[in-house]
Every structure is written in structure tokens, then in C-alpha cells.
Amino acid sequence: MVRRALLAGVWFVFVLLLAELSARLFLVISFDASLLDPRTAIHGPYSYLEDLVEEKIEQHDERLDVLLLGGSVLHRRWGSVPEAIEEQLVLRTRREVRVHSLAAPSHSSRDSRLQYQRLAAQSFDLVVFYHGINEARANNVPPELFHPDYDHYAWYRTVNRIDRDAWLGITAIPFVVGHALDRVALRWGDVQLVPVKEPRRAWLEHGAQVKTAPSFRANLEAIAAIAAERQEPLLLLTFAFYRAPDYEEQAFLRRQLDYTRHRSPIEIWGRPDHVVAAIEAHNQVVRDVAAGHRETWFVDVAARMPGVREDFDDICHLTTSGSQHFAELIGPTMHAAIERRPRSEP
């Protein structure tokens, strides 16, 4: 009897270890995670975070390190904002400057929050927050299906599971089982989510209600608290946008409007009026948080960068001259924040 129980125990442990190994191998293959640390599954959704986590970044050394938190407007493939920011700081400080970007297409303030909180080992000379439009897409959902952590949005269903899994530092099994059940439910169940690339047409009317403002505020407040704890200067920017006169989707697709390159129609985020309302609501949140956190720095870019053809490729993406204009607007405040001068907006 004792021998049978012992064999059963050994068999159970063997099966458990095999399941754990299989789960971790799944994370390695599907999420680019480390076999020894399942928590690195976050590198799947945020592949570029891995290099930054492993890099040694310190304040008060010879090089100035600037971290960008945002969406595609700050991404190097969608414009030259990072290069323009680097140029501005080199000109003003006469020091070596390196811009590190966690900005990516479609990313929202929640993505920036999740990524920034994982950079505790780094210490930046300046952190720049620039969000406003991508969360507009999350509003295109019936109110009863909306989740403050955007769990109703396909991208965040996986990202949130990684973030919430308290066991992931010990075992990968619960996460992999939950992830598999999510995939089954999405494929064969009656689960409806906001798609990653564009809203559901049947849900567009729900975008009239800006449901994301409280979530945007919570994410920004969390980022401000992290920056204050790490003593990293945080620069908050309102989001500049330009809705061309007489905007209409077909005219945009035919490149007939007052934009330079006509890159992305407003409809990929929702109905134009709804998208503009969401941006304005998020901009007001940025102003409120900046006013409530005196340790932060602030530039009202939306108020100081009027829409002109030379600056915008579409409602939000900037041309080369627009990127330069953007960097020049925030240049004095970036310099002041890095030098620890009294907070002010020039």
C-alpha cells in the first residue's frame, strides 16, 4: 500500500513537471519568454521591451537617456519625432543623447503603464508621455461590455492575463491553461471583442460615449506615481491633431484632403466626431493630471500646434517638418526638466 502511494506520488510529480515544462516551452515559442522565468512572457506582446530591460541605463552619467511612451506618432517607422527630439536635446545640452522608444502602433496609455512599471532597474533622465487617439477605438463597444482595463479589446485580453497572473513567477501552467481557454472561447464561443485593427462597424454608434477617460486617467496617474518614486522627470504632453476641413473618408482615400501623405483615415479609430471627442477628453485628463502633480512637467502641444498641411500626414501622424515643429515646441521644457529647473512651460 505504501509502495503504491509512493509510486502514485512520484507519477503525479512527474506528470506535473512534464506539464510545467510543456507550458514553459509554449511560452518560449509563442511569447519569446525565458524558459527559466515565465514572467518574461510579457516580451511576446512587447518584444522590444526585452532589450531595454537588459540594458544598463543610469541618470547623471555622461549620456542623456530619454524614454518615449506613446503610439505610432512617436514610432520611427511613422515619422521622425525621436530623431527630432534627439537633435533638440543635443543642440540644447551639448551632450550625447539617446532616445529609447516604447512607442508602437495602436498602443494606448495602458501599454505604456504596463511597460514602464517593468523598467525598475533603469533610471532615465527624462520620460515623455504622448497619448490621446488610440484609446478612442476602445470606446466602440456597448457600455455593458466595456472594461476599465480594456479587457473587451482583443489585444488586452492576452496582455491583461500576463499582467494579472500572480503565479507566473512560479509556474506557467495556470496562465497557459487560461490562455488556451480564451482562444477556444474566442474561436467557438460567443465572445465579442473590439478588434485590433479597426472597430466593429455594428458597434460604431457606441463610440459617441467616451468611456475611456477614467481609464486613461488611472493609467497616467500610475505612470506619474512611478516616475515620482524613481525620481525621473516626467513630461506630459497633450495630443496634437488635425481634422482636415470637409473631412470625408472617400476623399481621404483619394488623397484629396488637406494632408501631406494621407496615411491613416480617421475611421480606423471610429467615427470622426467620436474620435475627436475622445482625444479632447484625454487631453483634458493630461492637463488635470499635470496640474495635480507639481513634480511633472507639461506642454500643451494641442493648443500650440495648430493643424496645417505641412505638419500632418493625417489626423495625428506628423510630417518631417511637423516632427521638427513638435520637437521645437517641447525642446525648452525637456531641457529644463533634465536640468532640474523649476517647473514651467515656456
Q: Which residues pair with 99 in a beta bridge?
A: 66
All structural domains of the chain, each given as residue ranges with its CATH number in brackets, are 62-153+193-338 (3.40.50.1110)
The amino acid sitting at 67 is L
Residues of the chain with pLDDT under 50: 341-346
* Predicted pLDDT of residue 189: 66
Record the pTM: 0.91
DSSP E strand stretches across the chain: 63-70, 96-101, 126-130, 234-237, 297-299
Q: Which tens digit of pLDDT belongs to each residue from 4-50?
A: 777 777 787 788 888 878 888 888 888 888 888 888 888 888 888 87
Angle between helices 154-164 and 109-116 in degrees, nearest 10? 20
**Pairing between strand 96-101 and 234-237?**
unpaired
At residue 346, the pLDDT reads 44
* CA dist 255 → 72, 207, 308 (Å): 21, 26, 16
**Closest by CA position to 280, among listed 181, 139, 106:** 139
**DSSP symbol at 152:** T
**Which of 125, 133, 132 lies closest to 67, judged by CA?**
125
Cβ-based neighbours of 266, under 8 Å, separated by 6 or more: 243, 247, 249, 252, 272, 275, 314, 315
For residues 281 and 10, what is the distance between their CA atoms, to the nearest angstrom? 59
39 HSE (CA, 13 A, CB side): 10
Confirm if 140 and 207 have CB atoms less than 8 A apart.
yes
Contacts of 184 (CB under 8 A, 6+ apart): none
Q: What is the spatial order of strands in the sheet that 63-70 belongs to? A: 96-101, 63-70, 126-130, 234-237, 297-299
